[in-house]
Amino acid sequence: MKGIHPQLAHPQFLVAGIVLILGGVLLLHLLRIRRERDYHGGIRTAASERVRSLPLYRRLEWTRRILTVVTEAGLVCSLVASLWLAARPHTIDTQRNGVKKRDIFLCLDVSYSIYGLNRDLTEYLQQVVGSLKGDRFGVAIFNTSTVLYVPLTDDYDFVIQRLQEIKDYFDAQQLYMEESDSWYNDLDPEEFEQVMDLLEYYDAGTLVNNNYLGSSLIGEGLATCLYSFPSLGDQERTRVVIMTTDNAENALRTPLVELPEAAQLCAKNDVTVFGLFPGRDSYRQDLTDIPYNYAGAQFQKSVESTGGKFYVWDEAHPASEIVEDIRKQEAMAVDDVVVTRQTDQPRVPYILLFLSLSVTCAAALALKR
């Protein structure tokens, strides 16, 4: 939706100038009338009435009057055009772009316990990213430490490529976790080496100092993702975090930021968090001492404190359905963005000035002859 409105930047110039021009023209005509009425010497001409009655004289007199009026009118129009230019005509183009552009961060807990959720989500997002149309997308992955895997960008081809690469990592996690007792026997040495290289490549960034810090530091992961948004204080874009975790924190030391604190920071900076939590059948209770209901309730409380929504991922609620729901909710939550552009429009007064001066010069030359 847009509207174009013509305006003058300095209308007072035009108004004041027209008043002065009209006053000057009126004064000149009054002086001329007075001068014609009063005779101040000179040689009287005999039989002047007879001369004035001649057809040639009448034709020349009417020609003189017409050329005089044209000359004066041309001068007045050129002055008006000059004042119009001085008033700076322009148009104001107001456009409504529908909804704000969004910055969307995918914040993935890459613990081996939720590879299924992460793989399902990244696989679906590969199809969604290309249709964002102006939104920027980024990916942060964390376990003990956080890696800015994809900085916010609207290069969707690059994002899709990186999502495919990390999906391969989740496939390798599945292979390692589901067939940990025999999987290496089913692979030839080259394939085994490729899988291990892939796991070690990602783990080298997300398990820094895990020997004494622990793993799955949820709060630090969310806080680091939050401060990966550029120009966080800028309110021109809506900011969203889509976070996956089983909230099974295994910290060996007190983390710098706990999950509730990270959620408060998100709320303070107007960042909405949507949380994806594994279903009961996918929750690896054998890898943690934290009960399923407690972990889910704490994660849900933190997510909803930012104005977001909590989802449970299972067969009844696949990642595709959850992401579509998030997109619909966010689209309804944002406001219109109004963009105003000012464009100078000097063409018409320039043309009027050129034509007026041309007519004035032509009429003056004809009058002189």
- Mean pLDDT, rounded, for 293-317: 89
Give percent of the chain above pLDDT 70. Answer: 85
| SS3 assignment, position 5 | strand
| SS3 assignment, position 340 | strand
For the chain, state the CA radius of gyration: 40
pLDDT tens profile 306-321: 999 999 887 777 888 8
Q: Which two tokens stand for residue 125?
A: 């997002």
CA distance 147 to 118: 16
The answer to whether residue 289 scores a pLDDT higher than 90 is no
- Mean pLDDT, rounded, for 277-291: 80
- Mean pLDDT, rounded, for 200-204: 91
Which position has the higher pLDDT, 177 or 138? 138
CA distance 110 to 126: 18
- Mean pLDDT, rounded, for 4-13: 74
Torsion-angle region of residue 42: left (phi > 0), alpha (psi -120 to 50) or beta? left
- When the pLDDT of each residue in the chain is averaged and rounded to a whole number, the result is 82
- Mean pLDDT, rounded, for 172-177: 84
CA distance 178 to 173: 8
Exposed/middle/buried for residue 143 (C-beta within 10 Å: 0-12, 13-18, 19+) = buried
The pLDDT value given to residue 30? 79
CA distance 289 to 26: 98
153-185: b or e for each residue (b if 16 or more CB lie within 10 Å)?
Answer: eeebeebbebbeebbebbebbbbbeeeeeeeee
What is the architecture, at CATH level 2, of domain 102-335?
3-Layer(aba) Sandwich (3.40)
- Mean pLDDT, rounded, for 124-151: 89
Where exactly does CATH 3.40.50.410 map onto the chain? Answer: 102-335
Lowest mean pLDDT of 11-25, 177-191, 195-209, name the range: 177-191
> Which among 276-285, 295-304, 317-326 has the top mean pLDDT?
295-304
- Of the candidates 234, 264, 246, 263, the residue with the CA atom closest to the CA atom of residue 152: 234
142, 220 Cβ separation under 8 angstroms? yes
At residue 1 the predicted structure's pLDDT band, cuts being 50, 70 and 90, is very low
- The pTM for the full model equals 0.64
